[in-house]
Structure 1
């Protein structure tokens, strides 16, 4: 007997998990995401310290503070702290973005209060041992040398130098340079920490399988005891701005390179709200966000010039960018740039209905899988908070995406596609710079 074929229905619209919002006894803002079955609890703590708060001659100090806060405290040595984290199955990481310092804490729900206590100790009692600070400083300088040997990183470095004004902090590496790190000391770290690491505007996200009241009590017993008696310094710095002369081609010469790294981009939209943002993930997917997007369809499948190249809209605080990055076979450099121009001209003529449907289906239907873990939920919530948004932004843009028309996505692309383009190439300039210059796509400089 043959069983009846089941009827397959489209998935129901998905919404981002809802948080309960709380204020700890010390005023610290908390968002709790109870996620049954997620027994490893993910915590994110945002410290909104602008990267531009670093002294110009000590850029990288914020990165050093984030890397050394757990390398010994007033109560425990670096080895003792490592044993406490390892013995309790707790992972603590910290890093820096344009918007501030973040802490990432992973622990089983049973041990998460211990993790909160250890994180609080790192936040409030860091010793910044000279030996540990110096070790991380030298590691960072060594990392710079290693990064500069990577054509992708070298292209990114030259791109931000070209795209942003010299006054913009974004025009320089987040982790500092050899020069700014050369004389950095533990006193610099301690001073920056005392000035900027404080609970005033901090924000905590906790996601996992837990009872909300129990978790809230644990947070109050630990991070709720974090206080500061002083205010952060007044900060008056230039905002990050695109350079007026960013419409250029910069060729970073690497003699003998068998590939050319391409970084190409222009000004794009900021994320204002979910409805406004909805067309841009779809455009990203169709133009350069998947192996069968327009860029790879031409440069990889038809021409065999690249193993893969990606392009997408990337939002920042006050504006965004459309960025294309990837490597091509060296002898295809001029033709790859010509073809990229033709691809963008083709998008100016509009996506087709199939591209719109594929982009909307993929992005909306895979959202549950993208946010299936506590780690992903906490990470998204904390990242959005840094830029003044909450997770309703995700729900809103996914809902708006499902009703997008071709006119919506095509007009969104055309709003930005005529912006001045910054192009950075890392490869054999002696062989290919003249051919690139002959394309007439911008003033050419060889570095």
Structure 2
């Protein structure tokens, strides 16, 4: 039997995160474009300078309702007509609001880009904000809130934010508002927020995909270039104060068979020099199935299906007053809540006393850097990362430089960053579970004051 010769791998081609071209339209809209040959689905991201802390007092959630209402009709199309036009283009349009600002995302085949960009510009330039549509979105949001509170992971995240930040800080409250604040929102409030914060002069559009044969400058001038609005100074933000005094808060759910864990504190944002080392160290601690936390809590003890450690930027500023959330999350069976926490703290103490191994560091860097070309295969992934850089006031080559820094990060540096990120005596622990079963075992661990709150 004769077999076909086994194919041999070719030489690996050097890879770097793609660099965008930057320009500005006559109306002040900043443009980042990135030509990606072969990417026939074009991704467009719009950054709007409308952060959650700009919401009027008592109207938490108005940014979310406004974002959802952008595609619910314009001065030319009703909500149904607008949706039908998007469908004819084979396009998807989404928008969401978060602490750094608002993001509008469009994906469309390159052959239909012109039509879809016209619809996107229409939604930004002249949204209808019809009373009936806004009222429907408010009702939908009110229906969502009880479901979110019933989700242990979402409930834990809400409680951790409330514990870490002062009540006067917007970041301490739910991103999409509470039942009380959302119920106050009407079309007038949505319109007022739009007029105060949505304008081209403080916005950025990112376009990524195969732009062969597309006169993007002319297309943008005809569509988003027709969007008008007054000028505005970039917003400044106050430093984010946080209380990471070591303590435990139990959100009581009688009869729960599992306990949801969320352990966190605040840390530096991506402008800090420690960020690359912190990524590597956090990955070694809990970034994958082979991390230390999983090896102990999942493989050795069988307490959980998985525990993860991560860093998430909350807000980044030009002034260097940004912050990130550093957290460990997972769930364990109720009877083993105390032992699982004890072992988790033992892992953190061992990390501080013995450090990471070179093998752990090497595996983390290989995973973080080696899979980057796969991670950014799609235009949407590239566009989203470029939009993140804009949102966080980072240079255009930040992501490319980050991978070089990750590759240079040593074991000692990664260890120091991980230990600094998760000090054993400065962590706020939120447990969503059956307080009658877990309170006493948790108190015995001595992790700080233990408080029980109602669900």
Normalising by the smaller structure, the TM-score range is over 0.9
Mapped partners of 2:242, 2:213: distance in 1 = 44
Change (3 A) 1:8 1:256: same
| Alignment-derived partner of residue 433 in structure 1 | 439
Which residue matches 1:251?
250
Within-5 A mapping of 1:126-141: 126-141=127-142
**Correspondence for 2:319:** none
TM-score by length of 2: 0.93
Residue pair 2:255, 2:434 contacting (<8 A) in 1 also? yes
Native 8 Å contact 2:251 2:432 kept in 1 = yes
TM-score (norm 1): 0.94
1:336/1:212 Cα in 2 relative to 1: closer, same or farther (>3 Å)? Answer: farther
Residue 407 of structure 1 corresponds to: 412
The answer on whether the counterparts of 2:165 and 2:242 sit within 8 Å (CA) in structure 1 is yes
Contact 1:68 1:136 in 2 (8 A): yes
C-alpha separation between the residues in 1 aligned to 2:108 and 2:86? 9
Give yes or no for the alignment of 1:291 onto 2:289.
yes
Does the 8 A contact of 2:32 with 2:207 survive in 1? yes
DSSP 3-state at the match of 2:283: helix
Structure-2 separation of matches of 1:78 and 1:5 = 56
Deviation of 1:50 (Å)? 2.0
What's the Cα RMSD here? Answer: 2.2
Match of 2:422 among 401, 413, 417: 417
Match of 1:240 in 2: 240
Q: Is the 8 A contact 1:67 1:136 kept in 2?
A: yes
Q: Is the counterpart of residue 39 in structure 1 residue 37 in structure 2?
A: no
The answer as to whether partners of 1:277 and 1:397 remain within 8 angstroms in 2 is no
Asked if the contact 1:314/1:320 (under 8 Å) is kept, the reply is yes
CA distance in structure 2 between the partners assigned to 1:135 and 1:239 by the alignment: 36
Preserved CA contact (<8 Å) 1:260 1:327: yes
State yes or no: 1:151 paired with 2:159.
no
* CA displacement, residues 326-382 of structure 1 (integer Å, 9 cap, x when unaligned): 110110100111111001111112100110110111111100000111010001100
The corresponding residue for 2:95 is 94
Residue 266 of structure 1 is matched in structure 2 by 265
Q: Select which of 315, 329, 336 maps to 1:332.
A: 336
Give the unaligned 5+ runs of structure 1: none
1:303-344 deviation digits (Å, cap 9, x = unpaired) = 111011111222332122320111101101001111110011
SS of 1:174 mapped into structure 2: coil
| 1:164-217 superposed Cα distances (whole Å, 9 cap, x missing partner) | 111211111111000001121111111111111111110010000013861121
- Distance 1:276-1:439 versus aligned 2 partners, 3 A rule: closer
* Range with bigger deviation, 211-220 or 279-288: 211-220
Q: How does 1:98-109 map to 2 (within 5 A)?
A: 98-109=99-110
Are residue 312 (structure 1) and residue 310 (structure 2) matched?
Answer: yes
Give the 3 Å change call, closer, same or farther, for CA 165–10 of structure 1 in structure 2: farther
Over residues 205-250 of structure 1, what are the superposed CA-to-partner deviations in whole Å (9 max), with x where a residue is unaligned? Answer: 0000013861121011110111114647x9787543212x643210
d(CA) in 1 for partners of 2:81, 2:5: 63
Q: Distance in 2 between matches of 1:300 and 1:389?
A: 37
- 1:6-405 equivalences under 5 Å are 11=12, 13-211=14-212, 214-229=215-230, 231=232, 239-243=239-243, 246-272=245-271, 276-316=274-314, 317=316, 318-348=322-352, 349-405=354-410
Shift of 1:281: 2.0
Deviation digits for residues 94-137 of structure 1, max 9, x if unmatched? 11121111110111112112111111111121111111111111
Distance in 1 (CA, whole Å) between partners of 2:216 and 2:124 is: 20
Separation in structure 1 between the aligned mates of residue 54 and residue 158 of structure 2, nearest angstrom: 21
